[in-house]
Amino acid sequence: MHVLIAGINYRPEVTGIGPYTAGFAEHLVRRGEDVTVITGLPHFPAWQLAHGTRRRLWSREWIAGVNVIRAAHYVPATQSALRRGAYEATFGITGLLAALSLRRPDAIVGVVPSLSGSVLARVAAGRFDCPYGILFQDLMGPAAEHSGVPGGGRVARLTRATEAWAVAKAAAVAVVGDAFAPYLQGLGVAPGAIHRVANWTRAIVPSLSAPETRARFGWEDGRQVVLHAGNMGFKQGLEQVVEAARIAAACDDPVRFVLAGGGNRAEAIRKAASGLSNVEFLGVQPDEIHASLLAAADVLLLSERPSQMAMSLPSKLTSYFAAGRPILAAVPAGGASSVEVQRSEAGLVVVACRPDDLLDALRRLRSDPALASRLGAAGQTYASTNTSATGSLAQAERFVDAIAGRSPVPSEETA
């Protein structure tokens, strides 16, 4: 079966959605499918082209048996509704031109975000007269309304309408979290057409021991290291972390906030934290060092804007669970992330933008090492039983089979 996947993020991006789209495509190749991916230029999370990237209308390469076509597009260094629109539109146009030059696929999968991945999937499916499905990693309509990006609210209605149009003729729709389903049903998707395709825990072995990591990065004993690892964008709402650090410094709390990663808000957050000795910034790290950081931290922090709710489920949670460290989620009450952390029993949840509550939770974890150990162990158990690659990729197989309208085909992982 020839499967076409359209999504703007892919390898060599090491964080966010790219590794999961790549893992999905490569798994289908191992199952015996012929897979083509139309993707963008590597740019996430820094929102600038990776070093050495050449701007060509499109280019082709083979990665782990996948035919990868990279379509050129605009990359906005800063976010606004207009710039985001240009980002989506340019990938949609160049990606569609690339898609229409291919032979007819048997099934098409559009990956959201970006929104253009879903539009490309529906348009190409109409051109080829073949079935398609949409995999939602984020809900773009609510994200546009509540992201905090200038002008985002004005385009939310158009974004919702585009999402509704994109799913209207889809043979199947997939979500990474159950909390997404009500929104999609509100767009007219039948409950029976919605599949769960969870992101899985990427098995990466730390290259350093915890003591070696703490020594390398100067994390002194007796100070609680609270690590936020991953993208620093609008939806992460890291301003609340800076405010918590400011209060902690005034109270002389023995806490060190470490923000590791990059993103379009990284520089603004760095400026907001200027003068705070208890806030440290690290750039994007190689996978093995990233895993070492997670394993060596005292607490893994999940931060979201109060308006985030059910619009996304951060991919970092899978690696947080596997690291075996307690999670502290400062997120909207009742949102997708809150539900997932509570379901896992791997962490404490406080309401977003209440820095005093965040610090109280950190004090609780400092004063109760047994609680911290129980939460960390629960995360590892949850990762092994709910976010394993074997289980998640089996879900992905069933999703593709549902799009193509065929009975599931056994693979080595599912046999």
Question: For the residues of 141-209, what is the DSSP string, one character each?
Answer: HHHHHHS--TTHHHHHHHHHHHHHHHHTT-SEEEESSGGGHHHHHHTT--GGGEEE----------SS-
Nearest partner of 72 among 61, 51, 87, 52, judged by Cα: 87
User: What's the token pair of residue 414?
Assistant: 């599912």
Give a yes or no: residue 414 inside a domain: no
What is the distance between the terminal CA atoms of the chain, rounded to a whole angstrom?
19
CA–CA–CA angle 207, 212, 214 (5° rounding): 115
Give a yes or no: residue 293 inside a domain: yes
Query: What residues have CB less than 8 Å from 108, skipping those under 6 apart?
Result: 3, 4, 5, 6, 121, 124, 125, 128, 130, 131, 132, 133, 403
Domain containing residue 262: 210-386
| Same domain? 195 vs 250 | no
Give a yes or no: residue 358 inside a domain: yes
| Same domain? 118 vs 223 | no
pLDDT of residue 150: 57
Residue 183 to residue 412: CA distance in whole angstroms: 35
Give a yes or no: residue 205 inside a domain: no
| Same domain? 8 vs 126 | yes
| Same domain? 144 vs 83 | yes
CATH number at residue 113: 3.40.50.2000
| Same domain? 381 vs 392 | no
| Same domain? 116 vs 171 | yes
395 exposure class (CB count in 10 Å sphere: 0-12, 13-18, 19+): middle
Residue 152 to residue 149: CA distance in whole angstroms: 5
Contact between 300 and 327 under an 8 Å Cβ cutoff? The reply is yes
In the chain, the number of structural domains is 2
- In degrees rounded to 5, what are phi and psi of residue 45? -95, 0
The reported pTM is 0.83
User: What's the token pair of residue 14?
Assistant: 């090491």
| Same domain? 146 vs 248 | no
| Same domain? 216 vs 140 | no
Residue 167 to residue 159: CA distance in whole angstroms: 12
pLDDT tens-place values along the chain, 415 residues long? 999 999 999 999 988 899 999 999 999 999 999 999 999 999 988 888 988 888 888 899 999 999 999 999 999 988 787 888 899 999 999 999 999 999 999 999 999 988 999 999 999 999 999 999 999 998 887 777 665 555 556 678 888 999 999 999 999 999 998 888 999 999 999 999 999 999 998 878 899 999 999 999 999 888 999 999 988 988 899 999 999 999 999 999 999 999 999 888 899 999 999 999 999 999 888 889 999 999 999 999 999 988 765 566 788 899 999 999 999 999 998 888 999 999 999 999 999 999 999 999 999 999 999 999 999 999 999 998 888 899 999 999 999 999 999 865 554 444 3
Contact between 112 and 122 under an 8 Å Cβ cutoff? The reply is no
User: What's the token pair of residue 124?
Assistant: 């190409």
Give a yes or no: residue 99 inside a domain: yes
Q: Which amino acid is at 49?
A: L
Give a yes or no: residue 409 inside a domain: no
Contact between 68 and 10 under an 8 Å Cβ cutoff? The reply is yes
| Same domain? 250 vs 322 | yes
| Same domain? 152 vs 245 | no
| Same domain? 231 vs 355 | yes
- 3-class SS at 260? strand
CA–CA–CA angle 58, 63, 66 (5° rounding): 80
Give a yes or no: residue 415 inside a domain: no
The alpha carbon torsion through 292, 293, 298, 299 (nearest 10 deg) reads -120
Nearest partner of 201 among 300, 287, 319, judged by Cα: 319
Give a yes or no: residue 410 inside a domain: no
| Same domain? 16 vs 129 | yes
